[in-house]
Amino acid sequence: MTKAFQDHHQERKIVMTTLHIGMIGLGKMGMNLVQNMRDRGIAVTAYDLNTAARTQVAAYGATAVDSLAALVQALTPPRIVWLMVPAGTPTEQSIETLTGLLSPDDILIDGGNSFYKDSRRRAAALSAQGIHFFDAGTSGGMAGARRDGNFMIGGEEDVFPRIAALFQAIAAPDGYLFTGPAGSGHYLKMVHNGIEYGMMQAIGEGFEVLAKSEYDYDNAAVAKMWNHGSVIRGWLMGLAENAFTADPNLTAIKGVMHSSGEGAWTVEEAIRLHVPTPAISAALMARYRSEAPDAMSGKVVAALRNQFGGHAVDHQ
């Protein structure tokens, strides 16, 4: 353990004794964030619709409550509330309810993957009530939420110092950034996820070439070797090694790649700005294609080739 790492964690223990956070949403990310906060000495009051999740979080030293009203009541003003629920309707409904419960000068952090324009709109609406809104793009997956996360935070610059210690505590060294006005945090996370799409697609395509080659590669060994000193080393390659170690050819899973929206938003924004993003766009299209293995587009092309050239088609 380096001295810098020790100093960083010692600082985190010192500054956390007075923080009390309200955490809403105890899924994969929210539950790990609570554990991260509790490890740093941060008091947490937590709420989730799921009773089992509330029971589980209490085991980590957090106080579980059974309603948003109870959560707000448990916090001393000015409050800090962290929302960690799915983007879209769950976030919208939660913020609508919280708007009627929070007080002027309270802080609401949205740590989910909301669309940046929604975050700007919500910040404006909450500001009219005197409530400070921060959009905190959260990266690092479940492991990062649990320890040494990565956070991109937009909001009011003069209010941010009130929550800077929180992010210093739960982030990796140099792993958080105040990015500017409301919306900028989720915008940066959107582009981050677009880049992630392209990186993962490139790794997947590389291993597919290996799988189709004449050579019998050990995928886990290849990923491990690539992750030690090569140009393409990194966390994703380490995760590839883990996956191949558990299932050498990934035969237990289907090649269906779901998407949660950020890749599409990145491509849409690139189109709006006239920025060519062929790698990210192709990765997004590959995900859509994977969801329809017997797609109409393939059928049409096969039928046309058969019609004009008599080329063979495969029948059901």
262 is catalytic: no
- The active-site residue, picked from 189, 214, 224, 268, is 189
Q: What is the 3-state secondary structure (H, E, C) of the chain?
A: CCHHHHHHHHHHHHHCCCCEEEEECCCHHHHHHHHHHHHCCCEEEEECCCHHHHHHHHCCCCEEECCHHHHHHHCCCCCEEEECCCCCHHHHHHHHHHHCCCCCCCEEEECCCCCHHHHHHHHHHHHCCCCEEEEEEEECHHHHHHCCEEEEEECCCCCCHHHHHHHHHHEEEEEEEEEECCCHHHHHHHHHHHHHHHHHHHHHHHHHHHHHCCCCCCHHHHHHHHCCCCCCCCHHHHHHHHHHHHCCCCCCCCCCCCCCCHHHHHHHHHHHHCCCCHHHHHHHHHHHHHCCCCCHHHHHHHHHHHHHHCCCCCCC
Q: Report how far apart, in Å, the C-alpha atoms of 180 and of each of 150, 257, 260 are.
A: 16, 33, 25
196 is catalytic: yes
Check: CB of residue 58 under 8 Å from CB of residue 48.
Answer: no
Q: What are the backbone angles phi and psi of residue 279, rounded to the nearest 5°?
A: -70, -45
* Amino acid making up residue 156: E
| Token output for 288 | 């859509």
- The active-site residue, picked from 156, 196, 224, 269, is 196
Check: CB of residue 187 under 8 Å from CB of residue 30.
Answer: no
By annotation, the residues acting in catalysis are 189, 196
